A and B are shown apart, each in its own frame.
Chain A
Amino acid sequence: MTNMNYAQHEHHDFLNASAEALADPTLQKALVRLTDTLMAGNRKGYAALADSSDLRDHAKRIKEHTLAHLDEYLVQLEMSVHKLGGKVHWAATAEEARKIVVAIAQAAKCRHAVKSKSMTSEEIHLNPALEKAGVEVTETDFGEYIIQVAGERPSHLVAPAVHHTRESVARVLSQHLGETLSDDPKALAMVGRRVLREKFRRADLGITGANFAVAETGTIVLVTNEGNGRLTTTVPRVHVAIMGIEKVIPRFNDLPVFLKLLARAATGQTLSVYTTIITGPRQPGEVDGPEEFHLVLLDNGRSKVLATPFRESLQCIRCGACLNACPVYRRIGGHAYGGVYSGPIGSILTPLFDSVAENPHLPHVSSLCGACQAACPVKINIPHMLIGLRELQHAHKPSRLERWAYQLWSMVLCRPRLYHWAIWAARVILGRRAKAGWIDQMPGPGAEWTKIRDFPAPAAMPFRERWKELS
Chain B
Amino acid sequence: MSSREAFLTRVKQAVADGNRAGAVPSLPERAGVGYQGAGSDPVQRFIAELANAGGKGYVVSDVDAVMQTIQSIVQAHNARRILLSRGGLIDQFALPHKLKDAGFDVQTLDDMQANPQEDFFHADIGITNVHRLIAETGTVVMASQPNEPRSVSLLPPVHICLAERSQILPDLFNLFDLFSPTATPDRSLPPSCLTLITGPSKTGDIELKLVTGVHGPGELHVIVCG
B interface, CB within 8 angstroms of A: 3-4, 6-8, 10-15, 17-19, 24-28, 30, 33-34, 36, 49, 52-53, 109, 112, 116-117, 120-121, 136-139, 144-146, 149-151, 154-155, 172-173, 175-177, 179-183, 189-209, 211, 213-217
Q: Which residues of B contact A394 (CB under 8 A)?
A: none
Given contacts A159-B205, A189-B214, A257-B34, A306 and B193 within 8 Å (CB-CB)? no
- Choose, from A56-64, A102-110, A342-350, A459-467, the stretch at the interface: A56-64
Asked whether A356 is an interface residue with its Cβ less than 8 Å from the other chain, the reply is no
Contact at B17–A307, with CB atoms within 8 Å? Answer: yes
With beta carbons under 8 angstroms apart, the residue of A55, A68, A281 that contacts B34 is A55
Q: CB of A420 within 8 A of chain B?
A: no
Residues of A215-271 contacting chain B, CB below 8 A: 216-217, 219, 225-228, 230-231, 233-235, 245, 250-253, 255-257, 259-260, 269-271
Question: What B residues does A67 contact at CB under 8 A?
Answer: 15, 18
Q: In terms of DSSP, what is the predominant structure of the interface of chain B?
A: loop
Contact B195 A185 (CB under 8 A): no
Q: Which residues of A contact B (CB under 8 A)?
A: 30, 33-34, 37, 49-52, 54-55, 58, 61-62, 64-65, 67-71, 74-75, 90, 92, 96, 140-143, 146, 159-162, 164-166, 169, 185-186, 188-190, 192-193, 196-197, 201, 216-217, 219, 225-228, 230-231, 233-235, 245, 250-253, 255-257, 259-260, 269-283, 285-289, 297, 299, 303-304, 306-309, 311
Do residues B14 and A275 form an inter-chain contact, with CB atoms below 8 A?
Answer: no
How far, in Å, is B46 (CB) from chain A's closest CB? 12
Q: Which residues of chain A are within 8 angstroms of B214 by Cβ–Cβ distance? A: 142, 189-190, 192-193, 226-227
| Leading 9 A-B pairs by shortest Cβ distance | A227-B216, A285-B146, A143-B205, A227-B215, A55-B34, A307-B17, A275-B196, A253-B180, A307-B14
Residues on B with beta carbons closer than 8 Å to the beta carbon of A286: 144-146, 149, 192
How far, in angstroms, from A310 to B144 measured CA to CA in the complex? 40
Residues of A within 8 A of B145 (CB): 283, 285-286
User: In the complex, which of the residues A61, A253, A278 contacts B177, with contact meaning CB atoms closer than 8 Å?
Assistant: A253
Q: 12 extra interchain contacts, Cβ-Cβ under 8 A, other than A65-B28, A226-B215, A231-B215?
A: A68-B15, A68-B24, A186-B211, A225-B201, A228-B215, A230-B154, A253-B182, A253-B183, A279-B189, A287-B109, A287-B149, A289-B192
Rounded to whole Å, the gap between the CB of B124 and the closest CB of chain A is 14
- Which of B6, B137, B183, B211 is A270 in contact with, Cβ under 8 Å? B137
Q: Among A228, A269, A288, which residue has its beta carbon within 8 angstroms of that of B151? A: A288
Q: How far is the CA of A8 from the CA of B19 in the complex (A)?
A: 39
Q: Are B203 and A307 neighbours in the complex by a CB distance under 8 Å?
A: no
Taking a contact as CB atoms under 8 Å apart, the answer to whether A304 and B198 are in contact is no
